[in-house]
Amino acid sequence: MKRKLSILVSILVLAVSFSACGKKEEVATQDNAYYEQVSDIMLTQLLPSITEEQIEQLENIEEFAFNSQLYQSQLPLTPTSYVESAKGWLAAKEECGEFLGHGDYTFENSTDKMVVSTQGEFENRDAKISFTFNGNGTLESTTVSPSYAIGEILEKAGLNTILGLGTVFAVLIFIAFIISLMKYIPKLQAAFSGKKEKQIETTTEAVAAPVAPVVSASTGTDEKELIAVISAAIAADTGMNTSDFVVRSIRRRPSNRW
C-alpha cells in the first residue's frame, strides 16, 4: 500500500511544474505551449521512469482514488490513458532500447483533436512519439512508432511473404494427402461388407445344421411306433407271437378300403 501511495505522490509532485497552465477546464483555450509542456512532462518525467511493477500497482489502485489524485495534480490524464501509455512505452523500449532524448515538437490540430509529435532517440533505433489530446485537452493515447531501415522493411516483408506462402502450400499438401486417401474408401467398404456377408452365412449354416437330425430322428421314431402297433394288431388277430414274424416294410394302399 505504501508503494501505491508513493506512486501517486510522485504524480502529485509534477503538479508543481504544471500549475502554471491552469485547471483542466481551461485546457481547451490553451495554445501549443500547453500541449508541449504536457508532452514534455510525459516524455521526460513520467514514462522513462515507469516499470512493469509500478503498472501492476497502478492497475490495482481503486479508480476513484486514482482519478482523485490525477485531478489534484492537474495533469490532463485519465487512469486508462496513463496506464495504456505506460504499457506502450515499455513495449517500445524492448524493441528500441533505452530512451536517450527527443527532437522538436510538431503540432497537428483538427476540430476535435491535437496531435503532438516528436522524433525520439533510443539506444537501438529511433522512433516517432505521438501524444493525442481530445477536444478538452485531455491526453487520450501515446504511440511510439519505431523507424525501420529499407533493408529491415524488405526483410520483414519477405519473411511475412514466405510465412504466408508456406502456410498456403502446407494446407494444400494436407488437402491433397486427404484426397489421395479417398481411393481406399471403396476397398474398405468392400472389405467390411464381405465380412458381414460371411458372418451372416456362417450364422445361417450353424442354425440350419441341427435341424436335419431332429427331423430324421423324429421320422424314424414315428415309423418304429407304427411297426410296433401293426405287429401287435396282427398278433392279436392271428394268435401268433410278435416274435414269430417280422414287419419289414409298411406301404399304404391306394384305396381307403382294407
Percent of the chain exceeding pLDDT 70 equals: 71
Q: By the 8 A CB rule, do 147 and 127 touch?
A: yes
CB 86 within 8 A of CB 47: yes
- Provide mean pLDDT across the span 189-212: 61
Tell me the per-residue pLDDT of 141-184, one tens digit each, with 9 for 90 and over.
899 998 887 877 788 788 888 989 899 999 999 998 888 888 88
Residue 257 has pLDDT above 70, yes or no: no
- Helix, strand, or coil (residue 174): helix
Arithmetic mean of pLDDT, 76-105: 89
Instruction: Work out the pLDDT band at 118, boundaries 50, 70, 90.
Output: very high
Which pLDDT belongs to residue 199? 62
Mean pLDDT for the stretch of residues 49-61? 83
131 and 140 Cβ atoms separated by less than 8 Å = no
Non-local CB neighbours of 123 within 8 Å, separated by 6+ positions: 96, 97, 98, 99, 100
Q: List 129's β-bridge partners, or say none.
A: 118, 144
Taking only the tens place, the pLDDT of each residue in 13-40 is 444 445 444 444 344 445 888 899 889 8
**Domain residue spans of the chain:** 2-147, 152-208, 214-258
**For the chain, what is the mean pLDDT?**
76
More confident site: 172 or 135: 172
Compute how many other C-beta atoms are within 10 angstroms of the C-beta atom of residue 203.
10
For residue 1, pLDDT over 60 is answered with no
pLDDT of residue 253: 65
Alpha-carbon span 49 to 78, nearest angstrom: 19
Burial bucket for residue 81 (CB in 10 Å: 0-12, 13-18, 19+): buried
pTM: 0.52
Could you identify the residue written with the cell 482514488?
65
Task: Quote the Cα angle for 13-16-19, to 5°.
Answer: 135
pLDDT band at 117 (very low <50, low <70, confident <90, very high): very high
Closest C-alpha to 148, from 170, 122, 173: 122
3-state helix, strand, coil in the chain (%, to 5): 65, 15, 20
Q: Which residues pair with 134 in a beta bridge?
A: 113
